[in-house]
Amino acid sequence: MAGIIHHPLKPTEVKILLVCGIFAPILCISTDILAGTRYAGYSFTSQAVSELFAMGAPTSHLVVTLFTIYDVLLIAFALGIWVSAGRNIALRIMSLMMVGNAVTGMMLSNFFPMHMRGVEPTFTDTMHAILASNPFVLLTVGLGIVAFRNWFRIYSI
């Protein structure tokens, strides 16, 4: 059959990968809320999420662990999109951008956490700032707008 792209995954496996796209953002938001409430004195309005996993933060281990799981779920979702995309180039590129976003997130939280406020900045803080400006997020949303119509396009905008 010309024009059809085959992959080794069963339909049920693809669905599981795509469902990871539901659980990933739920885990991300839940992690922020849980850690923010467990960090005495943390302010959701005046402090960055990065401070929840800063070096020496009381919630660092929890947040790094849960954000790493989030990033793995995001990669699984991206794989589900990739194998479902067929010949849709925008979806294929969008899935690659999602992987880039997840890899950047893993590097950010696992290797380049920022220091807590009041500590002299070092190389890890510089790298944290660079990685936190993650361009993959905007590219993913932009490609989602191109690839989809109707409600998802409105949601993305």
Query: What pTM does this model have?
Result: 0.84
Contact 144, 94 (CB under 8 A): yes
Two structure tokens written together for 80: 């589900």
In degrees, rounded to 5, the angle at the alpha carbon of residue 46 between the alpha carbons of residues 104 and 99 is 15
Report the C-alpha dihedral over residues 84, 88, 91, 96, rounded to 10 degrees.
Answer: 90
For residue 2, what pLDDT band results from cuts at 50, 70 and 90?
A: very low
pLDDT digits (tens, 9 = 90+) for 34-57: 999 999 999 999 999 999 999 999
pLDDT, one tens digit per residue, over 74-98 is 999 999 999 998 888 888 888 998 9
Q: What pLDDT score does 146 carry?
A: 74
At 140-151, the pLDDT tens digits run 777 777 777 776
How much is the pLDDT for 147? Answer: 72
Mean pLDDT of 59-66: 98
DSSP category for residue 40: T
pLDDT recorded at residue 150: 73
Backbone angles phi, psi at 115, to 5 degrees: -85, 160
- Short-list 45, 53, 25, 24, CA closest to 116: 53
Domain ranges in the chain are 11-156
Encode pLDDT of 11-40 as tens digits: 899 999 999 999 999 999 999 999 999 999
**Paired tokens of 108:** 């950010």
User: Where are the alpha helices (H) located in the chain, listed in sequence order?
Assistant: 11-38, 60-84, 89-111, 123-132, 135-147, 150-156
- Band (3; pLDDT cuts 50, 70, 90): very low
Res 5: pLDDT = 56
